[in-house]
Structure 1
Amino acid sequence: MAARFVVVPQWQGSSSSRAMRLIDGAEAIRGDLPSAATIVVDVPLGAGDAVGTGVHRYSAVATVRERLRTALDAVPADELPVVIGGDCGVELGAVERASQAAAARGSRLGLVWFDAHPDLNTPATSPSGAFCGMVLRALLGDGAEGLTSAAPIEPSRVVLAGTRNMDDQEAEYVGASGVTVVDADSLADGLGAAVDALDVDEVYLHVDLDVLDPGEFGGVTDPQPFGASLEDVTAAIAAASSGRRLAGAGITMFAPASADDVPGDMPPILRILSALTAGARSR
Structure 2
Amino acid sequence: MNVTTAAQQHDKPGAAGTRTLGLIGAPSDVAAGCRGATMGPEALRVAGLGDVLAGLGYSVNDRGNLSGPVNPGGPRGNGYRHLAETTEWVRLVRDEVAASLAAKELPILMGGDHSLSIGSIGAAARHCHEAGKPLSVLWLDAHADFNTAETSPSGNIHGMPVAVLCGDGPEELLSLGHARPMLDPDHLVQVGVRSVDMVEKRMVVERRLRVFDMRTIDEIGMRAAMEEALEAVGRVGGHLHVSFDADFVDPSAAPGVGTPVPGGPNYREAQLCMEMIYDSGLLGSLDIVEVNPALDWRNSTAELAVDLVKSLFGERILARVL
- Output the TM-score relative to the length of structure 2: 0.78
Query: Which residue identity is paired with 2:228?
Result: A
Aligned 8 A contact 2:277 2:312 in 1: no
Of 153-162 and 112-121, deviating more is 153-162
Q: Distance in 1 between matches of 2:244 and 2:208?
A: 21
Of 21-30 and 5-14, deviating more is 21-30
Of 29-38 and 146-155, deviating more is 29-38
Aligned 8 A contact 2:253 2:267 in 1: yes
Match of 2:92 in 1: 67
Q: Distance in 1 between matches of 2:71 and 2:247?
A: 26
Which structure 1 segments of 5+ residues have no match? none
Q: 1:93/1:266 Cα in 2 relative to 1: closer, same or farther (>3 Å)? A: closer
Aligned-pair Cα RMSD in Å: 2.3
- Deviations 1:48-82, CA, capped at 9 Å, x for gaps: 87895422111111111121222223214421001
- Secondary structure in 1 matching 2:21: strand
Deviation at 1:33, TM superposition (A): 3.9
Match of 1:150 in 2: 178
* One of 241, 246, 254 as aligned partner of 1:217: 254
Query: Which residue identity is paired with 2:82?
Result: R
* One of 242, 245, 248 as aligned partner of 1:205: 242
Match of 1:57 in 2: 82
Deviation at 1:189, TM superposition (A): 2.7
* One of 211, 222, 230 as aligned partner of 1:195: 230
Match of 2:287 in 1: 250
1:124 aligns to 2:150 (yes or no) = yes
- Deviations 1:123-159, CA, capped at 9 Å, x for gaps: 1111100000011110111101111243421212111
Deviation at 1:256, TM superposition (A): 2.2
Q: Distance in 2 between matches of 1:62 and 1:173?
A: 23
Aligned 8 A contact 1:113 1:159 in 2: yes
* One of 227, 231, 239 as aligned partner of 2:276: 239
1:37 aligns to 2:55 (yes or no) = no
Aligned 8 A contact 1:7 1:30 in 2: no
- Output the TM-score relative to the length of structure 1: 0.89
Deviation at 1:213, TM superposition (A): 0.8
* One of 266, 277, 293 as aligned partner of 1:229: 266
- Secondary structure in 1 matching 2:93: helix
Q: Distance in 1 between matches of 2:119 and 2:82?
A: 16
**Matched residue count:** 275
Aligned 8 A contact 1:2 1:78 in 2: yes
Query: Which residue identity is paired with 1:10?
Result: S
Deviation at 1:2, TM superposition (A): 1.8
Aligned 8 A contact 1:116 1:165 in 2: yes
Match of 2:9 in 1: none
1:104 aligns to 2:140 (yes or no) = no
* One of 294, 297, 302 as aligned partner of 1:266: 302
Match of 2:41 in 1: 26
Aligned 8 A contact 1:50 1:58 in 2: no
Deviation at 1:192, TM superposition (A): 2.6
Q: Distance in 2 between matches of 1:164 and 1:131?
A: 19
Deviation at 1:265, TM superposition (A): 3.0
Aligned 8 A contact 2:147 2:160 in 1: yes
